[in-house]
Amino acid sequence: MNGLPMNVPAPGLPARVRIHEVGARDGLQNEKTAVPTAVKAEFIHRLAAAGLTTIEATSFVHPKWVPQLADAEQLFPELGDLAGVHLPVLVPNERGLDRALALGATRIAVFGSATETFASRNLNRTVAESLAMFEPVVARAKEGGAHVRGYLSMCFGDPWEGPVPVHQVVRVAKALLDLGCDELSLGDTIGVATPGHVLALLGELGEAGVPTDRIGVHFHDTYGQALSNTLAALGHGVTTVDASAGGLGGCPYAKSATGNLATEDLVWMLDGLGIETGVDLTALTATSAWMAEQLGRPSPSRTVRALSHKE
- Catalogue the active-site residues: 251
Burial 241-253 (b: 16+ CB within 10 A, else e): bbbbbbbbbbbbb
Nearest to residue 233, comparing CAs of 203, 275, 269, 191?
Answer: 203
Phi, psi of 184 (to 5 degrees): -125, 135
Residue 150 interface partner, choices Mg ion, ligand HMG, none, CB cut-off 5-8 Å depending on type? none
Stretch that binds Mg ion, among 49-57, 66-74, 255-263, 275-283 (CB under 5 A): 255-263
Distance, in Å, from the CA atom of 78 to the CA atom of 73, rounded to the nearest integer, reads 9
* Residue 238 or 289 with smaller CB distance to ligand HMG: 238
Residue 95 interface partner, choices Mg ion, ligand HMG, none, CB cut-off 5-8 Å depending on type? ligand HMG
Nearest to residue 191, comparing CAs of 250, 240, 150, 241?
Answer: 250
Element (H, E) at 207: helix 195-207
Residue 112 interface partner, choices Mg ion, ligand HMG, none, CB cut-off 5-8 Å depending on type? none
Following CA atoms 191, 196, 199, 200 in sequence, which dihedral angle do they give, to the nearest 10 degrees? Answer: -100
Q: Is 260 in the site for Mg ion (CB under 5 A)?
A: yes
Question: In angstroms, what is the minimal distance from the CB of 256 to ligand HMG?
Answer: 12
Question: In angstroms, what is the minimal distance from the CB of 41 to ligand HMG?
Answer: 20
Residue 61 interface partner, choices ligand HMG, Mg ion, none, CB cut-off 5-8 Å depending on type? ligand HMG
Cβ-proximal residue to ligand HMG, closest one:
187
Q: Is 26 in the site for Mg ion (CB under 5 A)?
A: yes
Stretch that binds Mg ion, among 21-29, 31-39, 114-122, 280-288 (CB under 5 A): 21-29
Determine contact, residues 282/307, Cβ cutoff 8 Å. Answer: yes
Give residue 6's region: left, alpha or beta (phi > 0; psi -120 to 50). Answer: beta
Question: In angstroms, what is the minimal distance from the CB of 92 to ligand HMG?
Answer: 4
Q: Is 188 in the site for Mg ion (CB under 5 A)?
A: no
What does the binding site for ligand HMG look like in residue numbers (CB under 6 A)?
26, 29, 59-62, 65-66, 90, 92-93, 95-96, 99, 111, 122-124, 151, 153, 187, 189, 218, 251-253
Number of residues that bind Mg ion (CB under 5 A): 2
- For residue 30, give every residue at least 6 positions away whose Cβ sits within 8 Å of its Cβ, in sequence order, or none: 68, 248, 249, 250, 251, 252
| Residues in contact with Mg ion by the rule CB under 5 A | 26, 260
